[in-house]
Structure 1
C-alpha cells in the first residue's frame, strides 16, 4: 500500500497492510521561508518513512497577516513570542480587514509551502497543512485574557471580528487545496472547558469552524485538533472532518471515550511530553500498543500534538518501528 492508501483504509474502517503513522514538530527559522520549511519537513518525513506529511508552520502566521509582530526566542516547542498584538479594544475587532491570502506575505508563504511540498513528495503521500480556527486566530490577535474579556463584555464585537477572520480563512483553505493539499489540520485552540463552555463555543465559533472545513470539502483528509486539556469534544460531531486529535492523556476523555463522543477515528495515541520526550523507547512502544488496542485499530498513530524539539531521535524511531510491527 502507498501511504495515502493506508490512511484511506483507516478512515474506511479497514485494516491497512500496516498502520499509518506520522509525527510533526515546529521548524523555527526554517518556517519563515517556504523552500527551507519544505526541505526540513520532507527530510524529516523521509528519514522516518512517515505516512502523512503534516506541515507545521509558525503558529503566528495568520495573526501576522493582520499586523501581529513576533520573534523566535528559543521556545522548547519552537513557537514564536508576541511583541505586538493588533487587538486590544473591542473596536479593533470591527476594524479587521478581510485579507486576500495571495497578497499577504505570511499567508502566501504557506500556499507556496504546500505547492512545493506536493511537488517534492508526489501524489502518494498526503500533504496536510495546518490552519488555525477563527477563534484560535482571535486568541493570537488579542491574547487569551483580552479575548475572554471581550467575549464577556462585548461579544458582538468579537463575533464581527470572527466573521472577517472566517472569510479570510475560507479563502486561504481554498488556495491551499488548489496548491495540492489533501485536506487541512484545523487547530481549535480555545475549544476547551478551561476557556469557554460548550454553549458559548457553539454560539460564537462552531459555524466558523464548519465553514473553514467545508472550504476543503473536495479533499479527503480533514483533521480537527483540540489543543488544550478538557477538550470540547462534544462539538466534534457537528464538524465535517475525517479524523479527530486531542490531548487524550490529560484531564478529559481517554481514547475510547473520545471516539465514542466524536464518532471519528483518531490521529494521535502517544503523549508528546510525558512519553515521547520524557519517557523511554520501551515506554513509547507500550504507548503505541495501548493506543492501538484502545481504538480497535481506528488510528493513525501520532503524538497528540507537535512534539518538543528535545525529543530524542531514538524515541521517534521507537514510535515508528512499533507501529510498523503491529502489522495489518
Structure 2
C-alpha cells in the first residue's frame, strides 16, 4: 500500500478502513521544563519530529488547571513526570467560594495555549494536535484533594457552584486552544472509577459537566479523545460520550480491547503496558502486545498507544520497538 501521511492514516482509521500501517501515538511529560512555554514548545517539537507519531497529544503540566486559583504544585520525582499539588486551595467546604471565574488566556492556563500555538505553527498542520483538558471534577479534586469526596456527599450545593465556574473556564480554554491550532482535545477524567464514586455520583458531578464541554466545542474539532484514568473505570457510562477516540489502561483494568470494541463505536487507543512492558519487556514483549492489540480489534479502528503517560525513563529502543512492530503488522497483512 502507498505510504500515507498522518492525517490520511488517521482518517482511514476513523472510517474503519485499513491503512499503510497501524497508527501509533505515544506521549510523555517533560518535568520542570514544561513550566516554561518556550521550553515546552521546543521539547514537543523535538519529540514529534524525532518519532513522527500519528497524533500529537500536547503535554502541559498536569496541574496547570489549578495554579491560577492559587494551588501550589511541584515536581517530586514521579516516574511519569507528573506534578503534584503540595498546597490545595480548598481545605474547608466554604473555600469552594474562592473559585471565581478567571481568564484562561492568561496565567498558567494561558501559557499552555501559547505553547500549543507555537507548536502548531511550527508543524504547519502536518499532524493532528490535541490539547490536554481535564474534566471539571478532576480539576475540583486537584483543588481540594481528598476532601472532595466528603463535599460530594455532605455539601453538594457548594461543589456544584464551583463546578459551574470550572466548567465555564474549561470551555473558554478549549475554545482558545482550538483557535490557536489544536485540532481537538484530549479530555481526561480521573474520577470515573467505581473505586472512587458510585455511578450516580459521577453522573451528577462528572458526566453532566463533561458533556457540556464536549457539546460546547462540537463542530469546532476534527477529532477528540476521551481518557479514563485509573482502575475499574465506568466504561459503559462513558462509552456514549461524543468523541472519536477512547483511551484507558486497557492492559491493567477492564475492559480489554475486544470487549470495549462491542460497546464503543469509535477508535480505541491502547494496547501497551507502559508501566511494565515498555520499561522492562524488551522488543519481543513489546511486539507481542502490539500484535495482540491488532488481533483483539481485527486491526481496525485502533491506534497503538499507552494506557496513560509514558514513564520518563522509557528508552528510545522501546519507542522504536513500538513503531517497528506497528509497521510490521501491516507488512504481514500485505
**TM-score, length-normalised on structure 1?**
0.96
- Whether the aligned pair in 2 keeps the contact of 1:18 and 1:326 (CA below 8 Å) is yes
1:242 counterpart = 2:244: yes
- 1:201 match: 202
Say which SS state the counterpart of residue 305 (structure 2) adopts: strand
- 1:102 match: 105
- 2:321 match: 318
Unaligned runs of 5+ in 1: none
- Whether the aligned pair in 2 keeps the contact of 1:4 and 1:125 (CA below 8 Å) is yes
Alignment of 1:304-315 (within 5 A): 304-315=307-318
Measure, in 1, the Cα distance between the counterparts of 2:265 and 2:189.
Answer: 18
Tell me how far 1:238 sits from its aligned partner: 3.2
Tell me how far 1:46 sits from its aligned partner: 1.5
Measure, in 2, the Cα distance between the counterparts of 1:214 and 1:172.
Answer: 14
Alignment of 1:109-120 (within 5 A): 109-120=111-122
- 2:9 match: 6
Structure 1 residues 159-178: Cα deviation after superposition (integer angstroms, max 9, x where no partner): 11111100000000000000
- 1:290 match: 292
Say which SS state the counterpart of residue 16 (structure 2) adopts: coil
- 1:213 match: 214
- Whether the aligned pair in 1 keeps the contact of 2:252 and 2:273 (CA below 8 Å) is no
Tell me how far 1:319 sits from its aligned partner: 0.4
1:76 counterpart = 2:90: no
Unaligned runs of 5+ in 2: none
Tell me how far 1:63 sits from its aligned partner: 0.8
The alignment's C-alpha RMSD in Å is 1.3
Measure, in 2, the Cα distance between the counterparts of 1:95 and 1:33.
Answer: 26
- Whether the aligned pair in 2 keeps the contact of 1:173 and 1:215 (CA below 8 Å) is no
Measure, in 1, the Cα distance between the counterparts of 2:127 and 2:276.
Answer: 29
Measure, in 2, the Cα distance between the counterparts of 1:199 and 1:264.
Answer: 25
After alignment, is 296-305 or 210-219 more displaced? 210-219
Tell me how far 1:313 sits from its aligned partner: 1.6
- Whether the aligned pair in 2 keeps the contact of 1:23 and 1:307 (CA below 8 Å) is yes
Tell me how far 1:152 sits from its aligned partner: 1.5
Measure, in 2, the Cα distance between the counterparts of 1:127 and 1:246.
Answer: 19
Measure, in 2, the Cα distance between the counterparts of 1:326 and 1:249.
Answer: 19
Residue number among 229, 232, 235 corresponding to 1:233 in the alignment: 235
- Whether the aligned pair in 2 keeps the contact of 1:236 and 1:262 (CA below 8 Å) is no
- 1:55 match: 58
CA 1:219–1:155 in structure 2 vs 1: closer, same or farther (change >3 Å)? same
After alignment, is 52-61 or 73-82 more displaced? 73-82
- 2:270 match: 268
Alignment of 1:179-194 (within 5 A): 179-194=180-195
**TM-score, length-normalised on structure 2?**
0.94
Structure 1 residues 273-296: Cα deviation after superposition (integer angstroms, max 9, x where no partner): 121112111101110010111112
Measure, in 2, the Cα distance between the counterparts of 1:314 and 1:215.
Answer: 41
Measure, in 1, the Cα distance between the counterparts of 2:24 and 2:275.
Answer: 18
Tell me how far 1:68 sits from its aligned partner: 0.6
Structure 1 residues 98-135: Cα deviation after superposition (integer angstroms, max 9, x where no partner): 111113x1011111111111111111211111111001
